[in-house]
Amino acid sequence: MNDPRQFAPATQRNREPILAVLSEVLPASGTVLEISSGTGEHAVFFAPRLRPRLWIPSDPNPMARASIAAWREQCPAENLYPPIALDACDPIWPLEQQPLPEALQDLDLQQHPIRAIVNINMIHIAPWRACLGLLAGAKRLLPPKGILYLYGPFKQAGNHTAPSNEAFDASLQMQNPEWGVRNLEDVVAIAQTHHLALVKTVAMPANNLSVIFQRTQD
């Protein structure tokens, strides 16, 4: 029998440290939207451990959504929704439209509003416009004090923080010239234009960072 589940080895290494940060910075209730959920391994790990928050995984890739659905079937959690199709680059996301995607038909966003957006290991393996779309979407969806959480490698002051990150950046750009490790200050500057203030950064395993933004008043 074909198993659509995909496996990302880094998930096993980073999920506990990420969970520790999320447990500290996420609002205590509401709905968390995960952008670019990939294999789905993070979603099935985080959702049951972050109750009573609801967790919505998403990905633009049908194969990724199949993997997320298969992981969800194997590791069910009452607060974990089926994956939805969402491309961060789109000017309007499915959660901004009516009706909501079929997978979310029983979700009451009035009672359980989206209060956080989580994005792990995407903006360096995507064109810059995906980062821009993510920040714009966070501005549209998050309420004041809502949280945007980013995880991945970043340059700081234009410099790589480790030789391994520099080599990784070069390999990414060989695969696609539009990809690459982003400069943290560039991301922060764009975030500020979308009413997202940098709260803090947290050093993580393998020379990655957790970067936490909070939605300010317009």
Residue 28 identity (one-letter amino acid) = A
- For 112-128, what is each residue's pLDDT tens digit? 999 999 999 999 999 99
Q: How confident is the model at residue 1 (pLDDT cuts 50, 70, 90)?
A: low
pLDDT tens digits, one per residue of 53-72:
999 999 999 999 999 999 99
Q: Distance between CA 188 and CA 157 in Å, rounded?
A: 12
Q: Which of 5-14, 69-78, 188-197 has the lowest mean pLDDT?
A: 5-14
Residues near 43 by beta carbon (within 8 Å), at least 6 away in sequence: 34, 37, 55, 57, 68, 71, 72, 80, 83
Helical axes 41-49 vs 62-74, angle rounded to 10°: 40
The pLDDT score that the predictor gives to residue 2 is: 85
Q: What mean pLDDT comes out for the span 161-185?
A: 96
| Distance separating alpha carbons of residues 199 and 108, to the nearest angstrom | 29
Distance in angstroms (rounded) separating the CA atoms of residues 139 and 128:
17
Q: Tokens in use for 58?
A: 């998403």
